[in-house]
Amino acid sequence: MSVTIELPHVGESVVEGTIGQWLKKPGDTVKRYEPLVEIITDKVTMEVPSPVEGTLVRLLAQEGETLPMGAPIAEVATADSPEGAEPVSASIEIETAPSAEPASPGTTGYLMKDVTPVGPTGGAAIEIAEPTGTSASRPAAVAPASATPAAAALSATPSGQTRLSPAVRRLAQEHSVDVSQVQGTGLGGRITRDDILKFVESGAAPAPQIVGQPSADGQETHVPLTPVRRMIAEAMVRSVSNIPHAWSTLEVDVTGLVALRASVRAEFEQKEGVGLTYLPFVIKAVVESLKEFPTMNASWGEDKIILKNRVNLGLAVAAPDGLIVPVLHNADQLSIAGLAAAAKDLADRARTKKLTLNDVQGGTFTLNNTGALGSYISGPIINYPQAGIMTTETIQKRAVVIPAESGDAIAIRSMMNICLSFDHRINDGAEASGFLSAVKSKLQAMAPGTSIY
């Protein structure tokens, strides 16, 4: 007897899903809870585990095919199935985290592995850039696994080598990394995501190539759209088509903030075991300012403006599959230290596809850091249907005129631009400028001695 695997329901608002990639092929042995297929929806991308153990007999849905939730997608023959019996249906039960309270970072394991492919702008990392001498890698274009040298290396892994996790295997394929050249630092010499990323950052890994079909005249290369890229494109078009964008930018002197972080960073990281970037400081300033300007924490309701009573901050994260915007729920209730831990947890789980559906829903405002890529000014696209999105740009040391009673002076200061895109149906320039000024004053007030707890 074969068991028919169905496309699982992942939420009331999700009615269909697209087969992204089959992780098993007919004839493969499948263990219960082992990742079977990657499903892409307008909310999340997730690895769906098998609800039974057996042998994959037949694929009922092809990669790229869109199906309603509950539709049959595969048949698996189980070892204890009597011959001649009629097929039965099975679907893995996927639960989402409760919406009332956010999960504690680092304490909860999730069976469902998902990320949202939809967000405001492309290519930004979540960490705030250092003032000088730092850089961030742009997410590279992904070639099909079968076309990369890493695919062959992965399939030819020596028998003595520790088995790779799906997340590590995918990351290695996306960056064309030959895992036999990577030194594992995990338990028993296991290769971890950090090992792959460090190998890529060292420059030892070849740059992945974009795979496409040449045009008839050879003057162009046509790269097919992935389901994730198509959904990102649709979300961006919807946002700019439905929301009248307006933009505003302010320059912020973050010299005191830079000094504050430097004064507490070592002790904090040793005590908490979490890196301390500039991000939690900026989040704190943003969420406090949203409480002062509630129309920035809102959405358009056609015949009304809908003010959000909770501050759920979306954080743009660059992941191998595309932009991800996980949500930091009740961000206004956390200290700077708490925000550092929560943001790191979200970013790590976003990049390894371990978010819950709740982690990508309910955002009321979005924060992006285009400065991690060296940008000093930007005009981001609003994350529909929110009222605004703010970016933090790269921190640069510059000569600045400092007003003084005895006469103006020139000093070297750490400066950063903050850029806001806002829905002009909800807010005008006065509200937008007031919000940015509030963020600026809060950031400029941070200095050594400011409590982060």
Closest CA to 279 of 340, 332, 365, 359: 340
Which pairs count as long-range contacts for 301-308, CB under 8 Å and 24+ apart, including other chains? 305/426, 308/364
Candidates 42, 245, 348, 424; catalytic one: 424
Q: Can you say whether residue 308 is alpha, beta or left, with left for phi > 0 and alpha for psi between -120 and 50 degrees? A: beta
CA distances from 341 to 16, 271, 345, 388 (A): 34, 12, 6, 25
Find residue 314's DSSP bridge partners: 327, 366
The CA distance from 30 to 43, in Å, is: 27
Whether 193 and 352 have beta carbons less than 8 Å apart is answered as yes
The CA distance from 363 to 8, in Å, is: 24
CA distances from 312 to 99, 152, 304, 316, 377 (A): 11, 43, 21, 13, 25
SS3 295: helix
Asked about 303 being catalytic, the answer comes back as no
Q: How many CB atoms lie within 10 A of CB 69?
A: 17
The CA distance from 53 to 80, in Å, is: 10
**Helix spans in 245-300 (H):** 255-272, 279-292
Whether 442 and 285 have beta carbons less than 8 Å apart is answered as yes
The CA distance from 195 to 198, in Å, is: 5
Asked about 175 being catalytic, the answer comes back as no
Number of H helices, E strands in the chain: 8, 23
Consecutive H or E run containing 232: helix 227-242
Residue 426 burial by Cβ neighbours in a 10 Å radius (0-12, 13-18, 19+): buried
Query: What residues act catalytically?
Result: 424, 428
